[in-house]
Structure 1
């Protein structure tokens, strides 16, 4: 009676096990790399919006200050989104019949806010307050990039826990003088002496900024 398995069966079984283990390991590595990639996190990817609003046109082109639309950024946790009547302050006078602005006109006529898709959205378990960052000299550019150069708004930074901790461990390089906080263009990081001056000016350093309770409350 012949043998059920040939002598080479052990070799093929070992090869199959090795290949199976390799595929599983590769899948785990790929999954980890995918979820930590900029693509999976939406970095540098513009969100489709009800109205293709251009910061490049409104900020760089027309010189509109960030705070005209995001009017709570200096006094609240959220930067705020402009109500429709803010948009219509100008667009009741210019581009009044533009097809691209039909959602804006409908929003005003129906008294329903425009539902914008969030570009930078932190997890609910992470607490972030815009006002304290502005008060302490952190410029918009540090988290949002050069928004004034964006035809459509995209996420400029990963905004991961590691990203936040890097700044909290060494905030000096991200600080700006008061008159440069809302300048969204990239600027040379301050030299060590200037960074120390800004840290002292904004009274930063009396609390451990890497304490868990800073962001998780």
Structure 2
């Protein structure tokens, strides 16, 4: 069999290893699990893997023939960040957004262990910052009383939600929301995506 046909027949597992969760996709099958609950036996059969990894690098060893993706120039998108320092998760999210809206301005909000905000305006990336996610915020303080702790959890959740929604309300363009913590916001004009890191891997990998 021709070499290219052999490569095409191999099962390529797309993997997103984050700070607190790990996700993978092969074909139409998508799975996500918290890092603390991850078991090697859950990994589906595959011959090669394409991996985006921002933390928990020791997990890479469990995947077959891993290809590690790093940020690199993409089409005519101008990055407002050193590509050597840009997180691969942010990079792939921007690739996914730019692939869908190459001629439109968009804001990408990734809500996970950390919250990242990125804007693409006139084909130029604008870094809007990194902030702690809900769990990180709530870990900052522990109260003795249950009522105070409950109030702290409610207050931090409301603060984070309001901050994200304020940024989105002020933006004139497409809004893409992704990440495991996206349930804390309800932005009517936004598009919600399960995992734009995986989508970016599909694009980089040629789908």
The bucket for the TM-score relative to the shorter chain is under 0.3
Would you tell me which structure has more helix in proportion to its own residues?
Answer: 1
- Find the structure with the greater CA-based Rg: 1
TM-score, structure 1 as length reference: 0.20
Higher strand share: 2
Give the TM-score normalised by structure 2: 0.20
